[in-house]
Amino acid sequence: MNVYNDVSEIQHDVNTVVTIGTFDGLHLAHRQILDKVTEIAKQNNSRSFIVTFEPHPQEVLKNKTPDIRLLTTIDEKLRLFEKAGIENVLVMKFTEEFSKTDAKEFYHKYIFGGIGLSDLVIGYDHLFGRNREGSIETLKSLGSELGFKIHRVEEIDIEAKPVSSTRIRTALAAGEVEEAARLLGYEYGFDGVVVEGDKVGRTIGYPTVNLKMVKENKVMPAEGIYCVRVIHDGKEYYGMMYHGFRPTLSEGIKRALEVHIFDFSKMVYGENITISFLTRLRGDKKFDSKEELIAQIDKDKEESLEYISGLKKRQK
């Protein structure tokens, strides 16, 4: 997949199928749009192109959304675009000045004039340009003027409710990571860097890898203990992850993201690890003693191994 950071890097070719958006979460509804792009590109022997933005527009326009939390980082989105079969991505730098770009100017300068465009694929609620003034009527006018076709993808419903980022955020806030995965079409997770911890885990028989999220304002599921999938150096492992303030061991002062990885004993400080949430084992709580905590972690491990065994059987 080709990734561009400036439209000037791209060779103009009118035979191009384009879609545009932030695609936070890249959930099933977004995937319908991407699938339509690749379908048309294949039929017409055209290029497939996604135009997205970094930082996320709401991160720049913070006066409107001061505490924006994202479902996907740009690196995660790029991995998902590639898996979906997209050939080219333009990651446009989003600034306050760029946010003032007129809707029609955006298409004339960057999309039709910059990349080239024969077919445009949009979602049912697509708005664009300064103050989101560009609508389907604007696009119809531009399509007639510039000679490109518009393909509008309808919403996708699960259990009579639209799939949306809001619905996924609600599931994660409740710790319902399996429901989030159902709406996303993949396991929700995050990229982290291994940092040094206080090494308390090894004193209770459960050494952990302590993580710092690559993107601090990424949405996290409810605090608690999760069974997780772990990717390190291209290899897959399983483990238990704790997300919370460790009320038993540190009196709830400092937030922790720590993973006990099964059958893993490497020293990986400073290295990247990807975590995918499989299921929530339980919520966080304070135990009366270290022994009581260890007994509960033993149960968590047993439950995790049972879940992983069942997962592997289902995947065969």
**Does residue 250 lie in a domain region?**
yes
Do 238 and 262 contact (CB within 8 A), yes or no? yes
Q: Which pairing describes strands 119-123 and 16-20: parallel, antiparallel, or unpaired?
A: parallel
Two structure tokens written together for 59 = 């991160």
Find where tokens 């055209």 sit. Answer: 46
User: What does DSSP assign to residue 108?
Assistant: I
A 10 A CB-CB count for 301 gives 18
Q: pLDDT tens across 267-298, in order?
A: 889 999 999 999 999 998 888 888 888 999 99
- H or E segment to which residue 236 belongs: strand 235-244
Binned at pLDDT 50, 70 and 90, residue 39 comes out as very high
Are 31 and 98 in a shared domain?
yes
Residue 213 located in a structural domain: yes
Tell me if 307 is assigned to some domain: yes
Question: Do residue 147 and residue 277 come from a single domain?
Answer: no
Question: What is residue 68's predicted lDDT score, i.e. its pLDDT?
Answer: 84
Tokens representing residue 285 in the block: 């709580």
Whether residue 231 sits in one domain with residue 153: no
Same domain, 25 and 151: yes
Angle between the 165-173 and 177-184 helix axes, to the nearest 10 degrees?
A: 160
- How far apart (Å, rounded) are the C-alpha atoms in residues 68 and 165? 13
Same domain, 208 and 148: no
Phi first, then psi, for residue 218 (nearest 5°) are -80, 140
Domain boundary among 137, 158, 179: 158
- In the chain, where does DSSP find H-type helix? 28-44, 57-60, 74-83, 103-106, 136-146, 165-173, 177-184, 290-315
Amino acid at 149: K
Domain match, 301 and 199 both: yes
Q: Does residue 100 lie within any of the structural domains?
A: yes
Neighbours of 289 (CB within 10 A): 9
- Asked if residue 174 is part of any domain, the answer here is no
Summarize pLDDT for 42-65 with one digit per residue, the tens. Answer: 999 999 999 999 998 888 887 655
Which residues does residue 91 pair with via DSSP β-bridges, in sequence order?
52
Using the 3D structure, point to which of 158, 178, 201 is the last residue of a domain: 158
Rounded to an integer, what distance in angstroms lies between the CA atom of residue 24 and that of residue 165? 7
Share of the chain above pLDDT 70, in %: 92
Domain stop point among 158, 173, 207? 158
* 114 and 230 housed in the same domain: no
Here the CATH number for the domain that contains residue 81 is: 3.40.50.620
Verify that 147 and 192 share a domain, yes or no: no
Asked whether residue 166 is domain-assigned, the answer is no
Residue type, 228: V
- Cα–Cα distance, 147 to 283 (Å, whole number): 56
Domain range for 108 is: 2-158
DSSP secondary structure letters along 116-174: --SEEEEETT--BSGGG-B-HHHHHHHHHHHT-EEEEEPP-EETTEE--HHHHHHHHHT
In this prediction, residue 155 has a pLDDT band, given cuts at 50, 70 and 90, of confident
- Tally of structural domains, the chain: 2
Reported residue count of the chain is: 316
> How sure is the predictor about 104, in pLDDT bands with cuts at 50, 70 and 90?
confident
At residue 131, the pLDDT reads: 55
pTM recorded for the entire structure: 0.89
Please give the pLDDT value at position 256: 84
Question: 67, exposed or middle or buried, with CB in 10 Å at 0-12, 13-18, 19+?
Answer: exposed
Residue 163 — very low, low, confident or very high, per pLDDT cuts 50/70/90? very high
Whether the per-residue pLDDT at 252 is higher than 70: the answer is: no
The CATH number assigned to the domain holding 267 equals: 2.40.30.30
